[in-house]
Amino acid sequence: MNFWIIQGLNGLAFGSLLFILASGFSLIFGLMRIVNLSHGAYFMLGAYVGVSAIEAGVNFWIAILIGGGAICILGTLIERFILRRLNGQPLAQVLVTLGIAFIIADTCVWIWTGDPRPVPMPRELAGALRVSNLAFPIYRLFVIGVAFALAAALWLLLERSRLGAMIRAGVDDLPMARAMGIRTSLLFSAVFCLGSALAGAGGVLAGPILSVYPGLDSDMLPLALVVVILGGVGSLVGAFVGSLLIGFIYSYGQALFPDLAYVILFLPMVLVLTLRPTGLFGRQAI
Amino acid sequence: MRVPSSMISWLVAVAALLALPWLVTSDYYVNIASQIVIAAILALSLNLLIGFGGMTSLGHAAYLGVAAYLSIYLTAHAGFGHLAGALIAIGATTVLAMLFGFLALRASGLGFLMITLALGQILWGVAYRWASLTGGDNGLGGLKRPHPFGLNLMDPAIFYYFVLAFLGIALWCIARFVQSGLGQSLQGTRDQPRRMRALGYEVWLIQWLSFVFAGFWGAVAGLLYAYYHQFVSPQTLHLTTSAEALLMVIAGGTGTLLGPVVGAALVVILKNIVSAYITRWLILLGVIFVAIVLFMPEGLVPGLTRWVRALRNRPPADKPADAPSVAKGPAR
């Protein structure tokens, strides 16, 4: 019983990290029809920037802001100066983001070498929470809390704010939204900026759990893709449910069948694509 | 019938390919030629999807890697004979292509790309993590090249002819496929999927059969890859391998029969030259991707031709817009 609870919480924590990454990815894809293959690289670069900041003596919380801010700026520049030039050419945009992902990944190896970097936990969240005979790291509970708060904030932003209404209009029917006078170009920048910042900050936040290593991008990107395939395009609820689902599958899989943890990831994809190709919460096929 | 001049250039090209081991005496260059030939088979199979089918796959390394892993595992670790190991590896990889095709073709355009990428990367994760079977990061080795018909494949020149024969067969089969009714209807589904459907074509089935055919040739390339390197590691299954194959297709110009062969030669030669001097091949690969998309979306070879023509201030003989370009290809 203890095993199931502990692994369930681990899965919840991993799914939370995944949600921070995948929500931005899903929003960008849903609104801009850009499959941002650099998203995993943003996550890793954000984590490396955060590590360097921490090693330079910066407080963990400031490091999260630095990591998120740096990637936010990088993403905005890429969107403004490269992706915008390729407006209306989705495949060209994908290939550019793939190229940028390679450049970032190799640059990270160049700067931070190939050795994994452990990320120290913030002191105030070290230690474990004990309930009867169960112990669970406080930091993971904190990450879970952050993801739920983020999900709530994003939900409020999308469903209750003017900006969110514009984003939803853009996701549903971009030409019509533009015709109604919504400045979609600003909207695109805002969403891409937000998604990049989430990826970068998520990378730093993931540091104490996953540590930072070359290949972190290749580990996370396919999971984000699977989350979007499962949850449906541009759906916040889909990204949330999909992330937690993959988190659980991955966590239990790794504990029960360590060799096969990745094989098990095929199962939800096979099921969803066979039975419901729009994804669990999507309205349109990907 | 072909015009005689193109017939002559074909004959010259074939003669040059056959004479290559005599022209370059160093084993190193003969081995690079073998690498190019194997990469060309992979690029040809991917071009079936991208160029002729309009389906941009970012998971084509799956077939290369799975066939390579299977053939090495079966022959070097599970006690199978060379012929049985090769046939099972290619057969099983083709079955995998059937499954992957079924999944990926639930979507089109960007969705297809995402699903192929995710499936490919999951396979990479499997190869990386399932260490008891795949050797994990250390990879799998121990394969001895076979001796078909008494040929000593350890000899670089003989191995080169061996893979060249496969390239010839692949070219012939793929050319026949493209000209066949199925291949023609595949190009129809690339250009006008709705119209093809309205005409009563089973678009899904056409795309799926082509996907499986491409997977089969990817598997053949994987088998030869295993024989060449006698070793396979998760890197073979990684997204970068798929991206390199994609670059070969784009570089040579999509939708042409011989473009991928030229592209394969360009990429393999570039990779070997660059790797001799610096270790940052991945950065260069990324820069090439960005540059190609921004500056010559119709492909490296047609793009360079256009630039050369523009430099000479000559009007282009053919409109580049007619060439199917990856960047402007059908998205959804």
- Give domain limits for chain A: 2-275
Residue A110 is nearest to which of B243, B250, B280, comparing CB atoms?
Answer: B280
Q: Does B133 have pLDDT greater than 80?
A: yes
Is B20 among the domain residues?
no
pLDDT of B209: 95
Flag whether residue B287 sits within 8 Å of chain A, measured between CB atoms: yes
CB-CB under 8 Å, B287 with A99: yes
CB-CB under 8 Å, B117 with A37: yes
Is B186 among the domain residues?
yes
Return d(Cα A281, Cα B11) in angstroms, integer: 58
Q: Which residues of B touch A37 (CB under 8 A)?
A: 117
Percent of chain B with pLDDT over 70: 91
Q: Which residues of B touch A282 (CB under 8 A)?
A: none
Return d(Cα B34, Cα A206) in angstroms, integer: 44
pLDDT of B319: 43
pLDDT of B244: 92
Residue A86 is nearest to which of B103, B243, B293, comparing CB atoms?
Answer: B293
Flag whether residue A266 sits within 8 Å of chain B, measured between CB atoms: yes
> Predicted confidence band at B322 (pLDDT cuts at 50, 70, 90)?
very low
Q: Which residues of B touch A95 (CB under 8 A)?
A: 246, 250, 289, 292-293, 326-327
Q: Which residues of B touch A277 (CB under 8 A)?
A: 106-107
CB-CB under 8 Å, A262 with B126: yes
CB-CB under 8 Å, B110 with A102: no
Is B74 among the domain residues?
yes
pLDDT of A156: 93
Is B4 among the domain residues?
no
H/E run at residue B57:
none
Return d(Cα B170, Cα A89) in angstroms, integer: 32
pLDDT of A125: 83
> Predicted confidence band at B299 (pLDDT cuts at 50, 70, 90)?
low
* Residues 2-61 of chain B whose Cβ lies under 8 A from any Cβ of chain A: 56, 58
Q: Which residue from B224, B58, B183 is spatially nearest to A94, judged by alpha carbons?
A: B58
Percent of chain B with pLDDT over 90: 43
Mutation test of the interface with chain B: which of A87, A94, A221, A249, choosing the one with the most B Cβ atoms within 10 A?
A94
H/E run at residue B278:
none
Report the SS3 class of residue A137: strand
For B188-204, the pLDDT digits (tens) are: 988 888 899 899 888 89
Cβ burial of A143 (10 Å; 0-12, 13-18, 19+) is buried
Low-confidence ranges of chain A (pLDDT < 70): 284-286
Cβ burial of B281 (10 Å; 0-12, 13-18, 19+) is middle
Distance, C-alpha B332 to centroid of its chain: 23
pLDDT of A286: 61
Cβ burial of B314 (10 Å; 0-12, 13-18, 19+) is exposed
Tally of CB atoms within 10 A around B210:
26
Return d(Cα B315, Cα B36) in angstroms, integer: 34
Residue of B nearest to A29 (CA): B110
pLDDT of B145: 84
Beta strands in chain A (DSSP E): 128-131, 134-137
Is B13 among the domain residues?
no
CATH number, domain containing residue B285: 1.10.3470
Q: What is the mean pLDDT of residues B83-106?
A: 93
Flag whether residue A113 sits within 8 Å of chain B, measured between CB atoms: no
pLDDT of B328: 45
Per-residue CA distances from A231 to A206, A273, A282 (Å)? 22, 11, 7
CB-CB under 8 Å, B58 with A262: no
pLDDT of B148: 81
Per-residue CA distances from A157 to A39, A52, A124, A231, A241 (Å)? 22, 32, 30, 19, 18
For B206-251, the pLDDT digits (tens) are: 999 999 999 999 999 999 999 999 999 999 999 999 999 999 998 8
CB-CB under 8 Å, B293 with A259: no
Beta strands in chain B (DSSP E): 140-141, 231-232
**Count: domains in chain B:** 1
Q: What is the mean pLDDT of residues B275-291?
A: 86
Return d(Cα A12, Cα A141) in angstroms, integer: 9
Return d(Cα A20, Cα A201) in angstroms, integer: 9
Which phi and psi angles does A8 have, rounded to 5°? -65, -40
Return d(Cα A20, Cα A39) in angstroms, integer: 11
pLDDT of A71: 96
pLDDT of A269: 83
Domain coverage including residue B92 = 26-322
Q: Which CATH architecture has domain A2-275?
A: Orthogonal Bundle (1.10)
CB-CB under 8 Å, A218 with B239: yes
Q: What DSSP line would sit under A24-77, residue for residue?
A: HHHHHHHHH----TTHHHHHHHHHHHHHHHHHTT--HHHHHHHHHHHHHHHHHH
pLDDT of B329: 43
CB-CB under 8 Å, A222 with B125: yes
Q: Which residue from B167, B138, B146 is spatially nearest to B82, judged by alpha carbons?
A: B146
